Amino acid sequence: MRSSRPIDLTEDERGFVQTFVHRGKVSARIQARARILLKAAEGWTDAEIARALDVGAGTVSNVRKRFVAGRLEAVLEDKRQDKRQIRSRQALSGEQ
């Protein structure tokens, strides 16, 4: 079964993603996303990608959705999670 969200990378985008994979200076999570994009651009199904890269099918689906919504920037950059930092600072008051 093929995914309903095709990934079409331009030559420039493909080269940029390949530098992420081969450079090795980014987090493992971002490298995995880059590898997912490359496999998806080659026409692999979500299930094939998940098996080959040892990730969940939901991860592959989410990467496809993020790419369709915001291209490379949405996939290869993590969002800041300000709420998590605020909660951890407010977990205990000075008296506790």
* pLDDT single digits (tens) 18-45: 887 887 777 888 888 888 989 988 888 9
Could you tell me if residue 94 is inside a domain?
no
Q: Which alpha helices (DSSP H) does 1-96 contain, by range? A: 11-23, 28-41, 46-53, 57-76, 82-89
pLDDT of residue 88: 54
Domain that holds residue 73: 11-86
Angle separating helix axes 57-76 and 11-23, nearest 10 degrees: 100
pLDDT of residue 54: 92
- When pLDDT is averaged across residues 62-82 and rounded to a whole number, the result is 75
Could you tell me if residue 69 is inside a domain?
yes
pLDDT of 1 higher than 60: no
Could you tell me if residue 93 is inside a domain?
no
Could you tell me if residue 6 is inside a domain?
no
pTM: 0.72
What domain count does the chain have?
1
